[in-house]
Amino acid sequence: AEVDVRGPKSIVDNISEVVAIIRLSGESDDFEKEVEVKAFNSNGEETTDLALNPAKVKARVMIVEGRNNKSVGIKTNLLGNPADGYYISKITTTPSSINVTGQSNILQAVNYLETQNIDISGVSSNLEREVLLKIPDGIALQQRESNKIKVTISFSENSISRIVVPKVEPKNLASNLNIDSLNSSEIRVTLSGKASVISTIDPANIILNIDLSDKGAGTFEIPITTSMINPINGVAISNISPSSVSVVISSK
């Protein structure tokens, strides 16, 4: 299953895979064969200036009848958990399904093939991996299907909510008027967004602007809307309570 590759570091570092090529010639039964292994670089070129140990491997090849064919899904196997505060938002495989063949009694029970394990421990940024499929006994990939699958995993930061008391700022009050009362102490604003953003917000920066430009002396119940709060990048306002504020205005 593994081959030790030795040689100049610059060449070894560029090796992407070691391959044992099995050439078929009409076999109809399972067989074992000793096969020479070859090393290939990232450009797909064979590299000969290396010592491979072992230089040959024993391959066991299982042959099944090709009359029974089926398209099945791919299940991605993951190990570990993402970094704190992150979750898996999307997993895609390329291809998303694969064509297999095999013994009818085994093929009937197979609805997907699993990938080799992908370790996502502590990961927070999107990653892309090429992994092998686990092929059950009695099942084979159809001709021209590759057992190497590209898996793309997307991670997103958890969202949280936080309730703050906004700073209320009356605006545009006529110069001949006074505000006698404004019950702003009961106002609560619920902020939602990424945890890294919400946790660092200073409530003093949450400003509720009350426009009094069309108000004279009297008592007014002014509806509160999200547009009256200064926007903060990456933050959504999910709730405001109460939904209005009472203002008492008198003449000077």
Q: CA nearest 230: which of 186, 172, 191, 200? A: 191
Q: Which two tokens stand for residue 34?
A: 């000793």
> Once rounded to an integer, what is the mean pLDDT over residues 71-77?
94
pLDDT of 126 strictly over 90: yes
Q: How confident is the prediction for the chain on average, in pLDDT? A: 89
Report the range of poorest mean pLDDT among 44-48, 128-132, 188-192, 227-231: 44-48
CA-to-CA separations, 231 to 42, 207, 226, in angstroms, rounded: 49, 9, 9
Per-residue pLDDT of 5-60, as tens digits, reads: 999 988 888 888 899 999 888 888 889 999 999 998 888 888 888 899 999 999 98
Residue 226's SS3 state is helix
CA 244 to chain centre: 40
Return the percentage of the chain with pLDDT > 70, whole number.
98
Residue 146 near residue 105 (C-beta atoms within 8 A): no
pTM listed for this prediction = 0.54
Q: How many CB atoms lie within 10 A of CB 203?
A: 13
- DSSP code, position 137: T
Residue 214: partners with Cβ closer than 8 Å, 6 or more residues away: none
Q: CA nearest 187: which of 201, 159, 208? A: 208
Per-residue pLDDT of 152-205, as tens digits, reads: 999 998 889 999 999 999 999 999 999 998 877 789 999 999 888 898 899 888
Note the pLDDT of residue 67: 63
CA 124 to chain centre: 8
Burial of 143 (0-12, 13-18, 19+ CB in 10 A): exposed
DSSP string spanning 68-120? -EEEEEEE--EES-PPTTEEEEEEEEESSEEEEEE-HHHHTT--EEEEPPEE-
Burial of 102 (0-12, 13-18, 19+ CB in 10 A): buried
pLDDT band at 209 (very low <50, low <70, confident <90, very high): very high
